Each structure stands twice: as structure tokens, then as C-alpha cells.
Amino acid sequence: MATDHDLIERGLRSAGVPFLVNDAMSLPSSWENIAVLGLDDNAAGEVDLSGALNATRQLSPHLTLALCHDTDHTPELAAAGVGLQLSGHTHGGQIALSGGNRIITIGRYGRQFNAGW
């Protein structure tokens, strides 16, 4: 039985929306010097960081934007020259006390990357 995720993915793919799973692509037209890199989910898939970075290098972008489910590869992406990473799984910490003190966070870097600026 197909899950909601499967149905949404099928619909988006049939509409021509690209899925970047350990891959990269350039943005169209006048934005082509910007590459978008997508990594698979650590928990549900298999991350191939070197494959995604190699795909990005072949595009020779001026700026690389990384789309990642979590922040588990942030230092490696930054070291490879990624200019911006967008991740959503941190939720600002999974459990927080009033005042913003996070007592439970996820990912291998704990609180270091649990929120943006």
C-alpha cells in the first residue's frame, strides 16, 4: 500500500518536479551559476555525500545551496564550499523548556545546529 509520501512523490515527479537524492542540478536560465544539491535522508535512505559533491563540482557553480533533511553533514558541506544549507528536521530542538532551553535535540551534533539565525 502506498503511503502519503509515496503518493505525493509520484504526483510531483509526474508533474516534472526534480528530486535531488544525493545529486545536484543547476538552476535554469540566468540563475544557472547556482547549484542545488540534495542529500538523501539519513534515517530512511542512504546519504552519498561524495556523490552529491562530485555532481555539484561538475556544474562549476558560483554558489551551492544544499537541501538536507537534517544537519548531520553541515561541517562537511561547509568545508566543501556550500554557501547555504537548508534543513528542517531540527525543529529547533525536539523538547525545550520555557525560555528556549533545549533538553533533547537530534542529530550527531546535538545543539550546535538545532536552529538557524
Residue type, 38: G
Residue, of 2 and 83, whose pLDDT is higher: 83
Beta bridge partners, 87, equal: 68
Over residues 63-94, the pLDDT tens digits come to 999 999 888 899 999 999 999 998 876 555 55
- pTM (2 d.p.): 0.75
Residues 20 and 9 sit within 8 Å (Cβ to Cβ): no
Q: Whole-angstrom Cα distance, residue 34 to residue 36?
A: 7
Which H or E element spans position 78? helix 74-79
| DSSP string for residues in 59-71 | H--SEEEEEESSS
Over residues 89-114, the pLDDT tens digits come to 655 555 566 666 666 566 666 666 66
Closest CA to 61 of 83, 79, 91: 83
